[in-house]
């Protein structure tokens, strides 16, 4: 991973257009091609980013850019779309690279693990005609929570307690990979959670991913904290 602290402006061009004016920010460049731009605030979420697979190209500033104080231009291009992230750098304050080694992956907490187990036994929560293929379906970029067969083909299900944009991005990467497998394609996506943030729902629906809300207590056979038989 490369970490760069720089005074820069950032422009995203693609399905959504966004601009960050000149300020000091942290730029994270990951080995998988992802580029994330952070400020010193706003919790853990980047201000803007490019999801992998992507490539970064460095060019010299134009005469007009150089006159405005720009010393370097980074263009991050998505490999599967025309989306670009343009970073105009005025000054680099820190630049370091770090080898983080192999990551063991996310260990789900009790609730997410229980949601996965319960949904695997209650596939009709997704609708009629769904059946389980397997849990923790292995891929080169991590396991898909649930792989299922639906009325219209294969379905990849990502489960979260609280569904946010990061979860949608994660499922998007799984879908991109799974749809390259002719034995599985076409593969559609379901983003299932106890709560789904409005921004995450908007992004999911824009990408053709269906959102499903899960009632954890009901799935466990509980209602208002009291066990029920029927």
Task: Find out if CATH 2.30.110.10 is the number for domain 2-97.
Answer: no
Distances (CA, A) of 218 to 116, 121, 146, 195: 14, 13, 20, 14
Domain 110-223, CATH: 3.40.1350.10
- Is pTM, for the whole model, over 0.75? no
Give the CA distances from residue 107 to residues 111, 228, 229, in Å, rounded to whole numbers and listed in that order. Answer: 11, 31, 32
pLDDT greater at residue 174 or residue 229 = 174
Measured CA to CA, the distance from residue 185 to residue 178 in angstroms comes to 7
Question: Which residues neighbour 48 within 8 Å (Cβ) at sequence distance 6 or greater?
Answer: 10, 12, 18, 20, 36, 37, 85
For the chain, which residues make up each domain, given as ranges?
A: 2-97, 110-223
pLDDT tens, 105-158? 666 555 788 899 999 999 999 999 999 999 999 988 889 999 999 998 999 999
pLDDT digits (tens, 9 = 90+) for 4-57: 999 999 999 987 899 999 999 999 999 989 999 999 987 678 999 998 889 999
- CA triplet 2, 12, 47: central angle to 5 degrees? 60
């Amino acid at each position: 991973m490369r970490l760069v602290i720089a005074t820069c402006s950032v422009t995203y061009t693609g399905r959504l257009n966004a601009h960050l004016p000149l300020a000091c920010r942290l730029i994270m460049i990951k080995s998988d091609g992802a580029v994330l731009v952070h400020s010193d605030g706003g919790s853990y979420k980047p201000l803007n980013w490019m999801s992998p697979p992507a490539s970064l190209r460095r060019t010299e500033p134009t005469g007009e850019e150089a006159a405005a104080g720009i010393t370097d231009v980074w263009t991050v291009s998505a490999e599967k779309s025309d989306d670009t992230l343009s970073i105009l750098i005025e000054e680099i304050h820190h630049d370091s690279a770090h080898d983080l080694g192999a990551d063991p992956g996310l260990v789900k907490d009790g609730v997410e693990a229980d949601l996965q187990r319960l949904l695997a036994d209650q596939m009709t929560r997704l609708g009629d005609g769904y059946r389980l293929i397997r849990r923790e379906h292995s891929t080169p970029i991590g396991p898909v929570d649930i792989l299922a067969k639906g009325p219209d083909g294969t379905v990849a299900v990502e489960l979260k307690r609280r569904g946010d944009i990061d979860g949608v991005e994660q499922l998007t990467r799984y879908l991109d990979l799974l749809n390259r497998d002719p034995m599985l394609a076409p593969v559609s996506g379901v983003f299932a959670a106890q709560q789904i943030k409005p921004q995450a729902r908007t992004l999911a629906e824009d990408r053709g991913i269906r959102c499903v809300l899960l009632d954890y207590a009901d799935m466990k056979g509980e209602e208002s904290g009291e066990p029920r038989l029927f």
